[in-house]
Structure 1
Amino acid sequence: MGITQGLNSVLERWLPEQRLFLKSDCSTRFVRLSPSTQLVALSGTAFVFGWAIIASSILAIDAISAHGSRDQARRSQDAFEERLADLSTERDNRATEALAAQNRYSVALDQVSQMQSQLLESEARRRELETGIGAVQARLQTEIKDRADDTRSASAGTPDAQGADLQVAFDILSDELKKSADDRADAVKVAADARRTADAATLERDQVIARNDEILTQIEDAVTISVKPFDDMFRSVGMNPDKVLSTIREGYSGEGGPLNPVSYSSSGNAQIGQGEAKAQEIMITLDKVNSYRIAAEKMPLAMPVKAAFRYTSPFGRRWGRGHEGIDMAAPIGTSVFATGDGTITYAGWQRGYGNLIKIQHELGTETRYGHLSKIKVKVGQKVSRGSLIGAMGNTGRSTGPHLHYEVRVNGNAVNPMTFIKAAQNVF
């Protein structure tokens, strides 16, 4: 009492004693508000006001950071997809250029082959003409000698028809030999030009193949890097990536259509075969990425609450018992959304959970949403990721309005934060 009176006397200068009068028809009463009572009331009011400011700041910071992380992940994904599209377009362009260079190379080879054939024919013709000319010259020499030794008694003015015929033949052979020599020179020139064209086409083809191989290597590195986050994501949530891929491929394995005969190139088989092998490896990796993307779309990776909220209880031990989910606190009526595509298997009251919704997803995953104030879906209904399914409440075993969110894999409860963080790391 002495301490209280001393405190009141100290506070009297700033908080003088107040009296609250309560008047009725027959009497008048009053309540004394001592300085210490006023101090306690003011302190409590200041504490409540400060707590409200701090809680609001935390909720705002959480909302801003979550929105910024999603935007950054979306920008990173868009940039990666744009870079992959550019590389694919450049690869297609280089493949078209390689095909054109291959065609030009084949045409040049055909021209060289034709020129070589013409050159060989011209050479054979020249040899034949040279042989014929030699025979004619030998015959002419024999005829001239026989003519000189012929009887001098023959008339000098008689024309030698046989010598004239040989002279005509000799002239014809000379003309043909000159023409063949000219044709051979032209053929040699054309063959040299064709050979230079073929060498240029070969160089261009090799450059295109090298560039195409470089592009394929870049694409291979890009798709290989893109696979690792998916592997890490599925392993972090306790799922076997190989089994996930096997399940997805079983559901997406249709094929068919008419088949065309396979065509083969007669030249450049080694380079083209190597490029096709690398392209096949890229297609296999891209198929793996696509299968992972399909699996990710079927898993509950989204946030169940899009409005501002506060994490109030993590996954794990709590109050000596296992807490098989996470708690997100926000005002009653805050919208709750499905975190993945699935089917409603339960929508009603369940002890402890209050109003509860269960959604069965593919790949053996299930999500639960407890303590709801409203349920806006029915059993058997198909829902998509982001579909509105209910509203946050305070039903069941609850100390305040919040959402109890669970994720189960093959019936076993896992930490939902691993799914949420995995989605942020990948997307």
Structure 2
Amino acid sequence: MRTRLGIKVHGFLERRFPERRIFVKSDNDTRFIRLRSETQLVAAIGVTAVVTWSIVASAIVLMDSIGAGNFREQAKRDQVTYRARLNAISVERDDRAAEALAAQERFNAALVQISAMQSELLASETRRRELETGIDVIQTTLRKTMQERETARQELADLQETAQDSTAAQQASVTLPAQIKFVADALSETALERDEILADARSALEERDELQLEMRLMEERNDQIFRQLEEAMEISVEPLDKMFRQAGMPPEHIIEQVRRGYDGQGGPLVPLALSTSGGVADADALRANDLLAKLSQLNLYRLAAERAPFSEPVVRGSSRLTSGFGFRRHPITGGRRMHHGIDLAGRHGTDIYATADGVVSFAGWQSGYGRIVIIKHDFGIETRYAHNSNIRVKVGQRVSRGDHIADMGNTGRSTGTHLHYEVRVNGKAVNPMIYIKAARNVF
């Protein structure tokens, strides 16, 4: 039974949408379809909704195309900016490498100069000792000669006293002048020889003072060279040490592993024992050995940095980070899942590079990952590069940091073109940004 409200509503609809009939005639019969007011209202609402949806969808598509055009222009401008920044960073990196090479050359030249100065110091020391020995011999001879002269004078005085009372003195008086003359000549020659020896001794002392002054100046130059080299080593080693610590890799443990597993491709320098006497090394030799040890440590750091994933898998500026490491809502299933890597979106076919030296352990199709490349590195580290459109390496191939290993794609379980990049340490996934951020101020 209709209510008054229902009757009023029906009457209102009858005035707006009067009842209509559609006749369908066949050969033998005629039928009709009755369209009530309510049915017409529902149909009108449906048609209106479809038309409205079409208009809104068209507007959204149009706005999206306009926005996409602006986004592409902005992306192009950003790409130009990033490339300029990348070029500037490359130039700065080359300058740093040139400075390091120049510092190494200066260090080698300093070592050659130190070796030459050590040889000169050794020769000067030997000469000084010989002069001191000669001076001692001359002083001893001079004292002995003066004693003999005094003895001769005493004997001459005794002969003169005894000559007055002895007849033998009268006989000896004939030869006495000749003996006195001989003694006087000997004393004169001894005095001249003494004066020459004293002059030589003064000259040797002056030469010794000059050598000591030259040695002090040489020591000051050596100290200045050592300070410059020590500062250069400190500036070179400290950023690498900080980079490894920020990445959670104890530098002492890493350096020891590199030293044990070094395979002969060039490596640490062996400290030299520099000494002027063949015994215990002096302070300069110890400083030189310390510099050589730091240079060896710098070389080991360089080797370790090549074997850990401190670089980025794509050129900076050619992609953007679309998903980080950690729990997230899965883009396909919608559930909360752990994301074991990072997603870098870019253009289809973007070059993908190895982030460290290693050996390819897998290159092919893997469920969910699509086309994937897995590289084994030192220190128990493994990197994975997934969803590629093309793979450019083979299993067992040894790659170096920066080698082109794949092209970016959309294979496997993926919603768009991007690179899924993972870093695993002893089988456990870690955040790749730890390594990338740690190296941004170094490389």
In angstroms, what is the RMSD of aligned CA positions? Answer: 3.1
Whether the 8 Å CA contact 1:354–1:395 is kept in 2: the answer is yes
2:174 to 164, 171, 192: 164
Q: 1:193 matched to which residue of 2?
A: 203
CA distance in 1, matches of 2:431, 2:87: 22
SS in 2 for 1:352: coil
Q: 1:426 matched to which residue of 2?
A: 442
CA distance in 1, matches of 2:311, 2:55: 54
Deviation sequence 1:144-188 (CA, Å, 0-9, x none):
34359x9xxxxxxxxx54222233222111110110011001101
Higher relative contact order (CA 8 A, sep 6+): 1
Structure 2 residue 417 is matched with structure 1 residue 416: no
Q: 2:216 matched to which residue of 1?
A: 206
Instruction: Give, in angstroms, the shift of residue 336 of structure 1.
Output: 1.8
SS in 2 for 1:302: coil
CA distance in 2, matches of 1:47, 1:252: 55
What's the % identity of the aligned pairs? 34
1:361 to 365, 377, 394: 377
1:142 to 138, 154, 162: 162
Q: Which amino acid aligns with 2:240?
A: F
Whether the 8 Å CA contact 1:73–1:424 is kept in 2: the answer is no
Q: 2:250 matched to which residue of 1?
A: 240
Whether the 8 Å CA contact 1:109–1:198 is kept in 2: the answer is no
Structure 2 residue 126 is matched with structure 1 residue 114: no
1:291 to 296, 300, 317: 300
Structure 2 residue 399 is matched with structure 1 residue 374: no
Deviation sequence 1:216-244 (CA, Å, 0-9, x none):
23322332332221221112222121210
Q: 1:46 matched to which residue of 2?
A: 66
1:99 to 107, 114, 119: 119
CA distance in 2, matches of 1:253, 1:67: 34
Deviation sequence 1:64-103 (CA, Å, 0-9, x none):
3334334323323432442353255245424523531442
Matching of residues 56-135 of structure 1 within 5 Å: 56-90=76-110, 92-135=112-155
Q: Which runs of 5+ in 2 are unaligned?
A: 1-53, 330-335
Instruction: Give, in angstroms, the shift of residue 210 of structure 1.
Output: 2.7
Whether the 8 Å CA contact 2:273–2:285 is kept in 1: the answer is no
Structure 2 residue 357 is matched with structure 1 residue 341: yes
CA distance in 2, matches of 1:261, 1:292: 23
Structure 2 residue 225 is matched with structure 1 residue 215: yes
CA distance in 1, matches of 2:402, 2:263: 28
CA distance in 2, matches of 1:176, 1:206: 44
Whether the 8 Å CA contact 1:133–1:170 is kept in 2: the answer is no
Structure 2 residue 400 is matched with structure 1 residue 384: yes
Q: 2:342 matched to which residue of 1?
A: 326
Whether the 8 Å CA contact 1:101–1:204 is kept in 2: the answer is no
Instruction: Give, in angstroms, the shift of residue 47 of structure 1.
Output: 2.4
Q: 2:283 matched to which residue of 1?
A: 274
SS in 2 for 1:419: helix
TM-score for both structures, normalised by structure 2: 0.76
Q: What stretches of structure 1 move > 3 A for 4+ residues in a row?
A: 34-45, 252-255, 260-264
Instruction: Give, in angstroms, the shift of residue 274 of structure 1.
Output: 1.5
Using the TM superposition, name which of 358-367 and 328-337 deviates more: 328-337
Q: 2:49 matched to which residue of 1?
A: none
CA distance in 2, matches of 1:173, 1:118: 21
Whether the 8 Å CA contact 1:129–1:177 is kept in 2: the answer is yes
Using the TM superposition, name which of 384-393 and 415-424 deviates more: 415-424
1:316 to 307, 326, 345: 326
CA distance in 1, matches of 2:250, 2:298: 15
CA distance in 2, matches of 1:92, 1:187: 39
